[in-house]
Chains A and B, each alone.
Chain A
Amino acid sequence: MTLKYFFCLVCSAVLLSGCWDIKEIEDVGIVTGLALDVSEEEQLLMINQYVKPGQIPTQQDSSQQDSPYQNLESTGTTLFEMIRENSLESNRPPNYTHLKSILFSTKLLEKEPLNQLIDLYIRDHEFRRTVPVFITMDPVQKIFNAQPEKELFPSIQIKELSENYHKNNTNPKNLTIGDMSQYISERKSFIIPGMAMINGNIKSYGAGVISGETSQYIGWIPLEKMEGIRYLHNNVEGGYLYLSEKDITDGPVVLEIKGANSKFDVSLSDGNLSMRVDVEVTTSLGEDWGVDRNVFKTGWEKEIKKAADKDIEDKVDVILQIAQKELKTDFAHLSQWARIHQPDYWKKHKEEWDEIFTQMDIDVQADVSIKDFGTQNFNME
C-alpha cells in the first residue's frame, strides 16, 4: 500500500512540476513593430522595435522618462538571419506574437519582390495573419524613431491611424499580412496604406501600388486622389463629401456620408467586356455655408445631389485613370467581378486580364441621397 502511494507521489512530482517549454514573460523581448528597408551597402535592413517595459509611464508616475522603446537595426540577406542576429545585441530573444505593424520602404519593394520578403511572416507560426502592413517613401528609421504624442510607440501609432478609415475616405483600409498573402497567391495587384513624416508627425499619406505580376512596388497614389479607390473596393463606411462654391451656387457644403454601397455589373458584347459601377451613397447635410437654403421646402437638395454625384464620379474616374492609363494594373480588384459575372470569359482570358482591363470601358454612375439635415437650420430669407 505504501508503495502505491509512493508511486503516485513520484508520478505527480514528475507530471505536475511545471511546463516543458516554459518561457518567463520577463525574459521575452516583445517586438511591437518591424520595418524593412535597403541598407547603405545595398543589403536588407531590418528594424525591430522592442518594448522597454520599465520605461512605460504608469498612471501614478507619469514623469518624463526615456522613450519606452528600443530600435535594433540589423542588416543581412535573409530575414531569419537578421532576427537571430538581434540576439547579439539584445539579452531578450524577440517574440513576435504581439507584433502590431510591419513597415516597408518603397525603395526596398522596388528592388525585392514582396512574395519573397513576406515568406517568413506567413511561414512562421509566431506571426499572426492579422498584422497590418504599411509602406513609406521616407527611410523607415525616420518613422520608427518618431516620438508620437498620444501613443508611446510609433509602430502602434501607424496601426491606430489606419483604424480611422471610417472617418476619412482618403485613409485606406488596413491591409493585413493575411490579405496580402491572399492577393499575392491570386496574383492580384493591390495597394498598401502609405505613411509619411509630415512636420514631425506620422501621417497617413496615400498608398503604394504593388504589381500582381512582379510583386514589386510600381507607383504611389497621392493622398488627394485616394478617395475613389474606397468606392471601388466597396468599403466606404463614413467620411465626407466637400462641395465648393464652384460646384454649387450656394456653397460650400459638406455632406457627411452615412453609408455607401457599390454595385458592379460586367457585360459582354461582341467579345468586349464593359463594366458598370453604381455607387449609392446615403448622406446627411453636415455643414452648410449657404444661408438661404430652406430645408423644409421639398426639392432643396436637388442641386447638391447633382454636384455630389459628379464629385464621386470624378473621384472614381481619377483612380481608374491611374489604374488603366498610368500604372496599367488592376489594383481595384475589378477582376473579381468579371470572374463572378462572366465566368466562362474569365476562364479563357484570365491570363491577359491586365491588358483587357486597360482597354475596358468602365461607366461610373453615382447616386447620392441626402436623407437628413440635422437639428437646426439658419434661413435668412
Chain B
Amino acid sequence: MSDLRQLTSIQLIVIFISAMIGVGIILMPRDLANAVNAPDLWISIIIGAFLMCLIATLYVLLVTRYPGLTFFDMSKKIAGRWIGTLINLFFIFYCLIVASYILRVTTAIIKNYLLDTTPLYVIIGSFLLVSLYLISNGPGDVVRFFQLYFPVMMFMFLILALLSIKDVDVQNIRPVLQSNLLTTVTQSKITFFSFIGIEFLMIFSPLIKKKKTRNLALSVWISIIVTAVIYVIFHVLTIGVLGIAELKEITFPTIEMAKSIEFQGFFFERFELIFIFGWLITVFTSFTTYTYGMILGIGKVTKPGWWCMAGAGLLIFIVALYPEGLTEVLDYSSHIQWIGAVAVIGFPALMLLISLMRRQTHDT
C-alpha cells in the first residue's frame, strides 16, 4: 500500500490535467471544425472552459461540505442508501463507458500508426493490464505516476507546438471574430466535454484533508485554465497547419499535424512516432483515472477486494472490444456525452441541492 496520505495543490493540478487531456486533444479539432466551420472555433473552447469552471465549483462545495468522503459515500449519505446506490451504479457505468471509449480510440490510433498487424485484443489487453497493475498499489502510486510523467507529457506538447509553428499559414486562421457568434457559443457543448475528468475531485477527496474552499477552488480552476490553454494552442496550430476544410476530413488531426513535421535526413524524420509515445502517456493517465474510479465504485457498492479489479478489467475489456469499427466507436461519443452530462452535471448538482436543503454537513 502507498504511504501517500495527503495531496498538495500541485499534485491536485497534475491529477486533473492528466485526467482531462486524453483522446480529446486528438479528436476534438475535427468535431469542432465540423460543428463551427469557422477559423475562430477556439472561442468555443474558452466558453466551454468557463462553463466547466462553474460546474467544478459544485464539486468543490460538495467536497468541502463532506470532507473525507468520496462521491460514492456522499451519494449514499445525501440521497439515502437505495437511491445513493443507484446513483453510484450509474457513475460506475459512466466510468466504464468513458474508460472503454478512451481505450478503443487509443487502440485504433496505435493500430493505425504503430502496430499495424498486432491484433486488437492484444493491444487492449496489454494497455489494460499495465493500468490495473498501477492501480493495484492504491491511489498514492497512481498520483505519483502522474506526477512522474507530467513533465514528459508537457514537454511533448511544447515540442510539438514549437515544431509546428513553422508550418502554420496565418491566412488559415484569419479572419478572427467574423463567424456566426451563436454557433460558436452553442457548440461549446462539444468543448465542455473535453474537460471531463475534473469530477475526480470527488473521487480523490479522501486524500484532500482540511483544505480551504478557496484554495481548492483555485487549484481546480487553474487546472481547467491550463488545459484550456493547451487545447486552444493546439486548435490554432491544427487550423493553421491543415486549414479548416481539411480539418473536417482528417480522422486524427493532431497526429496528422505532427506528421507534417519533417527533418530532412535527420534521424527522427518521423516525428509523429515520438509524439505518439508521449501522447500515449497522457491517454494512459486519463484512462487510469476512470478505471480507478470504476474499481473504487464497485468496491463501495459491494465489498472492496481483488475481484473488483478483475471484474472492472473484464468489463472494460469486453466493452472496448464490442464496437465493430472506428465509425461506430466515434458515433458512440455523442451518446457518451449524454451519459456524461447526467453523471458530471446532473448528479452533483442534485446532490448539492438536497444537501443545501437538508442543511446537512459531515464531520470527520
Does A359 touch B at the CB level, under 8 Å?
Answer: no
- Return the CB mask of B240-257 against A: 1 if under 8 Å, else 0: 001101101100000010
A129 with B115: CB separation less than 8 A: no
* B245 CB contacts on chain A under 8 angstroms: 182, 185-187
Does A339 touch B at the CB level, under 8 Å?
Answer: yes
B171 with A336: CB separation less than 8 A: yes
* Whole-angstrom CA separation of A130 from B118 in the bound complex: 27
* B270 CB contacts on chain A under 8 angstroms: 97, 128
* Whole-angstrom CA separation of A366 from B231 in the bound complex: 41
Q: Which of A79-137 contact B (CB under 8 A)?
A: 97, 125, 128-130
B175 with A21: CB separation less than 8 A: no
Q: Which of B85-136 contact A (CB under 8 A)?
A: 112-113, 115-118, 122
Find B118's partner among A21, A97, A181, A344 (CB 8 Å cutoff).
A21
How many residues does chain B have at the interface if contact means C-beta atoms less than 8 Å apart? 23
Find B171's partner among A128, A176, A340 (CB 8 Å cutoff).
A340
B84 to chain A, nearest CB (A): 42
Does A251 touch B at the CB level, under 8 Å?
Answer: no
* B116 CB contacts on chain A under 8 angstroms: 21
Q: A20-B118, A21-B118, A125-B112 are in contact. Are A343 and B178 (CB under 8 A)?
A: yes
* B175 CB contacts on chain A under 8 angstroms: 339-341, 343
How many A-B pairs with Cβ below 8 Å? 50
Does B174 touch A at the CB level, under 8 Å?
Answer: yes
A332 to chain B, nearest CB (A): 13
- Return the CB mask of A314-341 against B: 1 if under 8 Å, else 0: 0000000000000000000000100111
* Whole-angstrom CA separation of A97 from B256 in the bound complex: 14
* Whole-angstrom CA separation of A136 from B243 in the bound complex: 28
* B256 CB contacts on chain A under 8 angstroms: 129, 178
* Whole-angstrom CA separation of A125 from B246 in the bound complex: 16
* B112 CB contacts on chain A under 8 angstroms: 125
Q: A21-B118, A340-B174 are in contact. Are A185 and B248 (CB under 8 A)?
A: yes
* Whole-angstrom CA separation of A102 from B260 in the bound complex: 16
Does B77 touch A at the CB level, under 8 Å?
Answer: no
Chain B contacts to A: CB under 8 angstroms: 112-113, 115-118, 122, 171, 174-175, 178-179, 242-243, 245-246, 248-249, 256, 259-260, 262, 270
Chain A contacts to B: CB under 8 angstroms: 20-21, 97, 125, 128-130, 176, 178, 181-182, 185-187, 336, 339-341, 343-344
Interface CB pairs A-B, < 8 A, 10: A21-B117, A128-B270, A178-B256, A181-B246, A182-B243, A185-B246, A185-B248, A186-B245, A336-B171, A343-B178
Kindly list the 8 A-B residue pairs having the minimum CB-CB distance in the complex, ordered from nearest: A343-B178, A186-B245, A182-B246, A185-B245, A129-B260, A130-B262, A340-B174, A182-B243
